[in-house]
Amino acid sequence: MEFAQGICLDNMNEHEQEWLSIYPLQPTDYEKQHGIWPLRIGANIAKPHYHIGPRVTQYYYLLCVLEGEGTFIQRKKRYVLQPRDIFCLFPQVIHEYYCDPQQPIKKLILAFDGKQALATLARLGLTPEQPHMAERVSEQTITAFLNLFNEHQQAIARLHGMYAIFHSLELQNPLVQQHEGLLDWLEKGKQLIEHHFSEPITIEEIAHLVGIERSHFSKMYRKVYGIAPIDFLLQLRMQEAQLLLQHTSYKIAEIAQAVGYQDISSFSKAFKKRVGISPHAYREGGRLDG
CA distances 16 to 9, 19, 173, 249, Å, are: 15, 8, 42, 56
Provide mean pLDDT across the span 185-213. 90
Verify that 159 and 33 share a domain, yes or no.
yes
pTM: 0.63
Indicate whether 216 pLDDT > 70: yes
Q: Per-residue pLDDT tens for 11-20?
A: 789 999 999 9
* Closest to 52 in 3D by CA, of 26, 1, 15: 15
Instruction: Report how far Cα 136 is from the mean position of its chain's Cα atoms.
Output: 21
Q: Residue 286: which pLDDT band, with cuts at 50, 70 and 90?
A: low
- Which residue among 124, 154, 169 closes a domain? 169
Number of residues written out for the chain: 290
Q: Per-residue pLDDT tens for 231-284?
A: 999 999 999 999 999 989 899 999 999 999 989 999 999 999 999 999 999 998
Verify that 118 and 223 share a domain, yes or no.
no
Verify that 136 and 256 share a domain, yes or no.
no
Verify that 154 and 186 share a domain, yes or no.
no
Indicate whether 69 pLDDT > 60: yes
Provide mean pLDDT across the span 78-82. 96
- Which residue among 119, 136, 169 closes a domain? 169
Verify that 88 and 10 share a domain, yes or no.
yes
Indicate whether 9 pLDDT > 90: no
Bond from prior residue into 83 cis (ω within 30 degrees of 0)? no
Predicted pLDDT at 35:
86
Report the alpha-carbon angle 157-163-169, nearest 5.
Answer: 145
CATH number of domain containing 9: 2.60.120.10
Verify that 101 and 207 share a domain, yes or no.
no
- Identify the residue with better confidence: 195 or 6: 195
Q: Per-residue pLDDT tens for 108-122?
A: 999 999 988 988 898
Specify which residues 88 forms β-bridges with: 62
Asked if residues 87 and 135 have their Cβ atoms less than 8 Å apart, the reply is no
Verify that 6 and 133 share a domain, yes or no.
yes
Asked if residues 24 and 72 have their Cβ atoms less than 8 Å apart, the reply is no
Q: Per-residue pLDDT tens for 38-54?
A: 999 999 999 999 999 99
8: helix, strand or coil: coil
- Which residue among 104, 137, 169 closes a domain? 169
Verify that 38 and 154 share a domain, yes or no.
yes
Give per-residue burial for 36-59: e unless 16+ CB within 10 Å, then b.
bbbbebbbbbbbeebebeeeebee
- Identify the residue with better confidence: 289 or 30: 30
Residue 146, sorted as left (phi over 0), alpha (psi -120 to 50) or beta, turns out to be: alpha
Verify that 234 and 263 share a domain, yes or no.
yes
Residue 51 lies in domain: 2-169
Verify that 48 and 163 share a domain, yes or no.
yes
Verify that 163 and 36 share a domain, yes or no.
yes
Q: How many structural domains compose the chain?
A: 2
CATH number of domain containing 282: 1.10.10.60
Verify that 146 and 25 share a domain, yes or no.
yes
How far apart are the C-alpha atoms of 120 and 60, rounded to whole Å? 11
Q: Per-residue pLDDT tens for 140-165?
A: 999 999 999 888 888 999 999 999 99
Asked if residues 275 and 242 have their Cβ atoms less than 8 Å apart, the reply is yes
Predicted pLDDT at 1:
39
